[in-house]
Structure 1
């Protein structure tokens, strides 16, 4: 299982050079009880767990959701901006894998995350790690978008931050409205990317290009 503090705990603001711990203590995940609960849930829906195909499904369900609610530990590595780089840094199409907190159904999509550096620059892979951290819990897309933007603004102290998430919610495409092929787009901008029209336009133009719009 992939190795989040409790998925519902607020994320503390840490020094950018310290490790952001995202691995729950082992005692927080009770796979045995989760498997029992999954079995009871399936039986309550009229499923026969004695069949060959379903007999081990409760165990698989428990492990699958434990993995979906867990992110890998990482350090938010930053480096001095010795060259004084002051243009946009943008990581496009970062995979997003989350779970809708209202139905516990998958949310799958991509994130475009960018920032205008201040005194420090960030290791590029860490943008993907931050996205993964906030996605690995029951979520709503609007909150996740704001959390990523605010966290990077707090930790990195850049001149600006922008986040766009495009995702398909299976709670909307597979049930209810059954709007197959529909996706949801959310955005959050901070600092210069919010206040300066040209910088904001550049950011959204680049993310639109990434999405194939």
Structure 2
């Protein structure tokens, strides 16, 4: 399912505090986690070692180019380490005709990798925020999800990171994030339970402090009014 976007009419009792400057918050997300990468040759040699460890023949036709392919695939799958999620939220729009109620981006599909076993985490993210005078391009929310997902992750950390950068940079009145995901470390190894999903949530601002806002967000997701 493609990401579904829905906005809701402003409420009469909503308030709109002034937005703070995002520079300090953006700086907190600028540092790149990796600063000393091995060379392409070193990576390919490491992959060959792993292939040998499996018991297969690294010289057979089907595996000759596998080290190069794996290195290139890792560069793509973990490209989030070279990107700053705060920069994606840097351009905002203030001409919103007084709109200040919930903006919900639903069903953002993502693929990540578990930091414990380096196997896939596959799921979807639902993100909502309550604007405080400005909004961000809707595709930017999906980009933030992708950047954090393209790093070694736990689902709990991923949930908190998405909510944190949106709150810190946009300064909305509140952010809500829910992630539903299946972990291949449970499906492919260990307990081997396919189809089980994990649900994590993070709420900030009005979503955390006012139960009615959190309930409204959950109702919209549960009843499918955003789709």
The two structures have a TM-score, normalised by structure 1, of: 0.83
CA RMSD of aligned residues (A): 2.3
Higher fraction of helix:
2
Residues 26-52 of structure 1, C-alpha deviation per residue, up to 9 Å, x if partnerless? 974632211110101111221111221
The two structures have a TM-score, normalised by structure 2, of: 0.78
Structure possessing the higher relative contact order (Cα contacts under 8 Å, 6 or more residues apart):
2
The reply to whether residue 50 of structure 1 matches residue 33 of structure 2 is no
Residues 185-211 of structure 1, C-alpha deviation per residue, up to 9 Å, x if partnerless? 11100000111111101111223345x
Residue 205 of structure 2: aligned partner: 191
Larger radius of gyration: 2
**Is the CA contact 1:13–1:155 (under 8 Å) kept in the aligned structure 2?**
yes
Taking the aligned partners of 1:69 and 1:145, their CA distance within structure 2 comes to 18
Residue 174 of structure 1: aligned partner: 188
Shift of 1:13: 2.4
Residue 88 of structure 2: aligned partner: 75
SS in 1 for 2:25: coil
Taking the aligned partners of 1:135 and 1:48, their CA distance within structure 2 comes to 33
Taking the aligned partners of 2:197 and 2:138, their CA distance within structure 1 comes to 26
Shift of 1:130: 0.7
Out of 158, 170, 186, the residue aligned to residue 172 of structure 2 is: 158
Aligned residues: 195
Residues 88-145 of structure 1, C-alpha deviation per residue, up to 9 Å, x if partnerless? 1000011111110000001111100110000211110000011111111100000110
**Where in structure 1 do 4 or more consecutive aligned residues deviate above 6 Å?**
20-27
